[in-house]
């Protein structure tokens, strides 16, 4: 009897594990209709729509960074700063300014912690410039990038993408312009992301034939 009970428990665990691994449209992710074009070429495109001051984005930041370290060669990860209100625009400009001068990775974590751990006031360009300068970023280069015309174009593009993808909250992850993942705990987000990438990969392979 005890042996049967153990066997039954193992079977239940196996089924539970399998059920957890399988992702379901409508429950774990949504299908975007219409789908959006990608800019990743032959790679599966992953977009993270985020805001530095979003606590949920902050909690996903660590797991997603670890996931990025093992990014498959056929997957592209891009981050898109969201501007839901005017007060969010300085952070979007900061993201693109740092990216353009090659300093984004250096300060990405610091910006998340400034908002979510230390409650740092980064509400305007002056305070932001002082913040990045204290962390070794060239003040004049950052200011030039922050105020450049090309950066304004990137901010406008970000706003267009938010509208096109129907983004209503952060963090939201879009895979290959078709699959939307949002509202999950960080561990579940990563699990579902891996499975949805497999779906997108198979779809790309099928479309080749």
Catalogue all structural domains in the chain, each as residue range(s) with its CATH number: 24-208 (3.40.30.10)
Q: pTM (2 decimals)? A: 0.89
CA–CA dist 96, 115 (Å, integer): 18
For residue 88 the two structure tokens come to: 């969010």
Residue pair 193/67 in contact (Cβ under 8 Å)? The answer is yes
Q: pLDDT tens, 8-19?
A: 444 334 443 344
207 burial class (0-12, 13-18, 19+ CB within 10 angstroms)? exposed
pLDDT digits (tens, 9 = 90+) for 24-52: 999 999 999 999 999 999 999 999 999 99
The first and second tokens of residue 135, run together, are 């962390």
Does the pLDDT value for residue 4 go beyond 60? no
For residue range 59-85, list pLDDT tens digits in order.
999 999 999 999 999 999 999 999 999
H or E, element range at 12 = helix 2-21
Average pLDDT over residues 89-115: 98
Distances from the Cα of 202 to the Cα of 18, 33, 151, 175, angstroms = 20, 19, 36, 13
């Amino acid at each position: 009897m005890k042996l049967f009970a153990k066997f039954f428990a193992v079977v239940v665990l196996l089924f539970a594990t399998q059920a957890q691994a399988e992702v379901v449209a409508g429950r774990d992710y949504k299908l975007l209709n219409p789908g959006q074009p990608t800019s990743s070429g032959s790679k599966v495109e992953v977009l993270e729509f985020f805001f530095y001051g979003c606590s949920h984005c902050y909690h996903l930041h660590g797991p997603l960074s670890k996931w990025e370290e093992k990014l498959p060669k056929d997957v592209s990860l891009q981050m898109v700063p969201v501007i839901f209100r005017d007060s969010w625009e300085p952070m979007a400009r900061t993201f693109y300014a740092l990216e353009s001068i090659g300093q984004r990775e250096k300060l990405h974590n610091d910006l998340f912690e400034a908002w979510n751990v230390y409650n740092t006031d980064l509400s305007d360009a002056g305070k932001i410039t002082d913040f990045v300068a204290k962390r070794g970023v060239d003040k004049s280069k950052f200011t030039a990038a922050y105020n450049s015309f090309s950066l304004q174009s990137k901010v406008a593009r970000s706003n267009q993408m938010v509208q096109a993808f129907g983004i209503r909250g952060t963090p939201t992850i879009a895979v290959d312009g078709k699959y939307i993942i949002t509202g999950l705990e960080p561990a579940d987000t990563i699990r579902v992301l891996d499975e949805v990438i497999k779906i997108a990969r198979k779809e790309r392979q099928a479309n080749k034939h």
